[in-house]
Amino acid sequence: MIAPWAQIDLAALDRNVRAMRAALGPRTSIVMVVKANAYGHGLTPVARQAARSGVRWFAVAYLHEALHVRAVCEDAEVVILGAAMPEDVRTLIEHRLTPIMVDEEHGRALASAARARGAVLRAHLKIDTGMGRFGVPWTQAVSAYERLARESGLEISGLCTHFASVEPRKPSLGPTQMERFREIDAAIAHRAATPLFRHVSSSRAFLTQPDWDLDGVRPGIAAYGYGARERGMRVETEPLLQWRTGVMQVKRVPADFAVGYYSTYVTPAPTTLATLAVGYADGYSRALSNKGFVLIGGKRCAVVGRVSMNWITADCGPDADVAPGDEAVLIGAQSGESIWADELARLARTIPYEILTNIHASVERHYISSPSLPIL
């Protein structure tokens, strides 16, 4: 059967984790973000490999993801970035998972659920320093902390925030957010019975602001090989995921041949068209209609016509030596040429995060590992 499939290189993940680890001081942990199915790479194999590569902290969006991490990593610390539900407190405690309190009311509801079970729940407090999403507003953070710290059933073990923007060479909100966080941290520090685990930096801040490392950094996209190839970044990481499919049909066509729904592409000259097994149902963005490229036989071929549900058409040129069953690369490298998710993102006017997380769960993932790594 010809169908799209993804290849994930766990040896590259190992190299990325080690490169990030080497950039950090000994007091800072990597809190690897593995939400959204590890950015499309597959949560279980990625978390397992990351743990083997030395990652001790993971961040997810939901409880079910946290349980997947726990299943492969008995001793990891797992933080849940979304608003965990009070009715899940028993599971949180049983599996030693750490929710993040997204506001004071959420914290109180979690505390009350833990109290009702005669238990104590460890949780981190999120401060909204300017992202405007989750968190206690920074102006109320110290008093909210004091009130929550008095709640029985709750142990506040960490403090965090999330940056709206961090731009090393342009104005951005990041530095102001960091100032706000530092003030709150200083005010809270002498009130806390034990030191809090403080984590603020996602990939962009980790890559560009070493002074903001604190106790943990929360890289996501950098661990998967993106965002770290720009000039001046603190470490370089490499993409793990390649996405491939096969040619289903080949057609030699004359000039003025219309392709796809609404005939949005008409061949300017005789050429060879290849129909490939991938479409928007698999996560290949419709925004790549008449914009994307694929690699066939080591050559870049334009995606022509509209991306449809299950198929796309590539223009391979008049003299192309292409046949049904040939491999086509959607993301990745072939014979020295490459197309990575950041290039596709630019062409589709989006971000590599979306390109990667949109690869449908039904697309088979094949995991490869170098001989020096444990077989998974």
Ligand X SMILES: Cc1ncc(COP(=O)(O)O)c(C=O)c1O
Q: Cβ 289 to ligand X, closest distance in Å?
A: 27
Which residues are known to be catalytic? 35, 261
Among 371, 373, 361, smallest CA distance to 6 is for 361
By CB neighbour count within 10 A (0-12 exposed, 13-18 middle, 19+ buried), where does 354 fall?
middle
Which residues of this chain interact with ligand X, rule CB under 6 A? 33, 81, 162, 202-204, 218-222
Q: Residue 34 — left, alpha, or beta (φ > 0 → left; ψ -120 to 50 → alpha)?
A: alpha
Q: Which CB atom, from 20 or from 288, has the smaller least distance to ligand X? A: 20
Min. distance of Cβ 2 from ligand X in angstroms? 32
Q: Which is nearest to 277 in space by CA: 334, 325, 332? A: 325
Q: Give the residue with the Cβ less far from ligand X, 31 or 328.
A: 31
Q: Are 98 and 70 in contact (CB under 8 A)?
A: no
What is the Cα–Cα distance from 154 to 149, expressed in whole angstroms?
Answer: 7
In angstroms, the CA 331 to CA 363 distance is 13
Residue 11, SS3 per DSSP: helix
**For residue 47, what are its two tokens?**
């978390």
Comparison of 94 and 230: residue with beta carbon closer to ligand X: 230
User: Nearer to ligand X by C-beta: 290 or 357?
Assistant: 357
Q: Which residue is nearest to ligand X (CB)?
A: 220
What is the smallest separation between the CB atom of 21 and ligand X, expressed in angstroms? Answer: 15
The residue (of 162 and 180) whose beta carbon lies closer to ligand X is 162
Q: Compare residues 221 and 295 and give the one whose CB is closer to ligand X.
A: 221
Specify the residue, 43 or 222, whose C-beta has the smaller distance to ligand X.
Answer: 222
Give the CA distances from residue 289 to residues 7, 176, 219, 278, 311, in Å, rounded to whole numbers and listed in that order.
24, 40, 31, 12, 11
Report d(CA 300, CA 163) in Å as an integer.
Answer: 37
- At 304 the three-state DSSP class reads strand
Structure-token pair, residue 266: 């008409």
Contact 58, 50 (CB under 8 A): yes
Token output for 174: 């990041």
CB of 102 to ligand X, least distance (A): 10
- Tell me the closest approach of the beta carbon of residue 275 to ligand X, in angstroms: 34
What does DSSP say about strands 337-339 and 77-80: parallel, antiparallel, or unpaired?
Answer: unpaired
The residue count for the chain: 376
Query: Min. distance of Cβ 226 from ligand X in angstroms?
Result: 8
What is the DSSP track for 26-42?
TT-EEEEE-HHHHHTT-
List the beta bridge partners of residue 302. 293, 315
Contact assessment for residue 208 and residue 232, using Cβ atoms and an 8 Å cutoff = yes
How far apart are CB 363 and ligand X at their closest, in Å? Answer: 21
